[in-house]
Amino acid sequence: MRDQNDNSNGEPEGGGPNPWIKSLMVWGGVFLGLLLVVSLLGGGQPAGEAMGYSEFKQQVAAGDIKSVELSEETITGVDKDGNAFSTVRVKDDPTLTRLLDDNGVSYVGKEPDNGGLLIYALMNFLPFLLILGIAIFALRQVQKGGGAGGAMGFGKSKAKLLTERQGRVTFDDVAGIDEAREELEEIVEFLKDPSRFSKLGGQIPKGALLVGSPGTGKTLLARAIAGEAGVPFFTISGSDFVEMFVGVGASRVRDMFEQAKKNAPCILFIDEIDAVGRSRGHGLGNSNDEREQTLNQLLVEMDGFEANEGIIIIAATNRPDVLDPALLRPGRFDRQVVVPVPDIDGREKILAVHMRKLPLAPDVNPRTIARGTPGFSGADLANLCNEAALLAARRNKRLVAMQEFEDAKDKVMMGAERRSMVMTEDEKKMTAYHEAGHALVSLNEPASDPIHKATIIPRGRALGMVMRLPERDNYSYHRDKMHANLAVAMGGRVAEEIIFGHDKVSSGASGDIQYATDLARNMVTKWGMSDKLGPLQYEQSQEGYLGMGQTARTMSGAETNKLIDEEIKRLVEDGLKRATDVLTEQEDKLHLLAQAMLEYETLTGDEIDQLMKDGKIDRPDEPKGPVAVRKPGGTTVPKAGKKFGGPDEAPAGA
């Protein structure tokens, strides 16, 4: 290489008012509030033009008033022109009715309006009513304990009852991890028919711990158990127990088991249990005190004096090494179910599950895809199928073909193509020879894995790449394969030096050098593959202190360290020499392969084999007839078919 899933989670029923009633009460309160505001703003105000009482009496005496309504507080009426008016009545005026009679004004009495008094009372007592309502609400929350989301419910369990009315997952949707599936199928059978096991003296396991790398299907297995068991299934995350307040986590554990007892037999699923189940006694501070109290309560509930019959706890983690030993003993987590990364057969089965939803073209072969995805987890394979479907949709295809899966695999493994990246013709040529060097050395090393694809299209941080894939999954590596990998890693740098000279060697081999150095170091210090140092371990992994993949010397003698460095250098230089011997002897094939890389940009392993055997590449979709190839001097020569010549016919660019 040249560098550069919607669950339908519902709460348990009961324990609270009907949501429709609560909504009706809320909207009723809003409506009453609006009526109160309207009354405050417009209620109790007399209609018509306001006038003074003396002016009113003068208009009555002048005969300008037609009729009036008399109340204890106000006088409203209409003048002879039909205009309404109002005035405030003076109570101590016994001459008013005589004045009205003398001037022929018709008048009627009006009953007193109590609305003003009601509004006055509400205005004065409304704040007290609001305070009283808030107090009653708080007291009700305290009395009923509050829900997990209530005002006083922070000590309540956040476990959710998994209903899965839609998108139900069963064991038919779980593939590639048959051993783990069988372990959990037995738990489901026990829940369905406990007498089948109890009559022979067997007891149901109290807990099962799912252990595996991220994406291997631990949560999917738990959902499958929920779909198969037909019993209540509570799910919660380990981080839901941990709070800054001491005692809250323990309270949530107690409440969770209380819910489970009411619904027994049932299953409790705790995802990422390492968030709460870490070994005790490490670290200081309230946060650790809270976590340890939570863990202690969990240990007591799982296997304390009080039996929790019918409650099965299933937990998942990808870090079993940090869990407290008390959590892992029999009686708590009776079984540790390893959920491994699937092998080639498992990957094929997983792909078949995910491909059910895709409209596939006839050329799609799950076995070929499984062979080309070593180390992929179930989540990776699901992502691969999704990327292939998106690519097919982007290309306006009705079916997802093998080409989409190949392109999706390249994108997932190597990164997206960077076709917009501007490279000079010299950089393209150097990249082509660099990758051709890797490929040619790989073809001449019998222990090397077969070439799957070689490309000079930039992807991710790489300007080009040669991808090799094993014929089958490898669980150990032999010495001859390691030496072959060292030679292949050095092939790119050697090709640059042979073609362009010592002074033109680029920095593109930095990743290859790093890989070769790390491989040689492991051969010497871990795997005992140095005759001078013998079968001893000189470096020990310190994952808990220095980080994943870092090591620390355990034998720090100066002479030993010097000898280790010499052996590492010797192994890498041996690989360099092997690559040099191959490329020097087969320089014509190096030019041939580099020219093909520049012409096509991407070659499959079969095309490379065909090129080395026949000197040409036949592609059905390529135009027939001679194709012009530019010579370094600027002239062109015809090329029959796709057969490439010697070094003077190598094109300057793609």
**So which residues are the catalytic ones?**
435
Q: Residue 86 — φ and ψ, nearest 5°?
A: -155, 150
Q: Which residue has the tokens 């509930």?
A: 301
89 torsion bin: left (phi>0), alpha (psi -120 to 50), beta (else):
beta
Q: Residue 487 — φ and ψ, nearest 5°?
A: -65, -45
* 58 to 99, 101, 611: CA distances (angstroms): 10, 14, 121
How far apart are the C-alpha atoms of 239 and 251, rounded to whole Å? Answer: 14
The 3-class SS string of 11-59 reads CCCCCCCCHHHHHHHHHHHHHHHHHHHHHHHHCCCCCCEECCHHHHHHH
DSSP class of residue 146 equals -
How far apart are the C-alpha atoms of 103 and 60, rounded to whole Å? Answer: 7
With residue 456 as reference, give the H or E element that holds it.
Answer: none
Residues 6 or more apart from 32 whose CB is under 8 A from it?
none
* 354 to 129, 408, 610: CA distances (angstroms): 60, 15, 34
- For the record, the structure tokens of 85 come out as 């008016």
Count of Cβ atoms closer than 10 Å to residue 626 Cβ: 11
Residues 6 or more apart from 129 whose CB is under 8 A from it?
none
CB 520 within 8 A of CB 564: no
What is the chain's alpha carbon radius of gyration, rounded to the nearest angstrom?
A: 42
Q: Residue 355 — φ and ψ, nearest 5°?
A: -80, -10
Residues 6 or more apart from 597 whose CB is under 8 A from it?
432, 435, 436, 454, 455, 456, 603
Any bridge partners for residue 628, and if so which? 638
* 479 to 459, 482, 486: CA distances (angstroms): 31, 5, 11
Buried b or exposed e, range 635-649, using 16+ CB within 10 angstroms: eeeebeebebbeeeb
DSSP class of residue 321 equals G
CB 311 within 8 A of CB 268: yes
Look at residue 266 and give its three-state secondary structure.
strand
Q: State the pairing for strand pair 636-639/627-630.
A: antiparallel
How far apart are the C-alpha atoms of 457 and 630, rounded to whole Å? Answer: 21
- For the record, the structure tokens of 551 come out as 């090591």
Give start and end residues of each alpha helix (H) in 263-400: 286-303, 325-328, 344-354, 366-371, 378-394
CB 378 within 8 A of CB 219: no
DSSP class of residue 322 equals G
Q: How distant is the alpha carbon of residue 471 from its chain centre?
A: 32
Q: Residue 263: which of 201, 195, 311 has the closest Cα?
A: 311
Count of Cβ atoms closer than 10 Å to residue 158 Cβ: 18
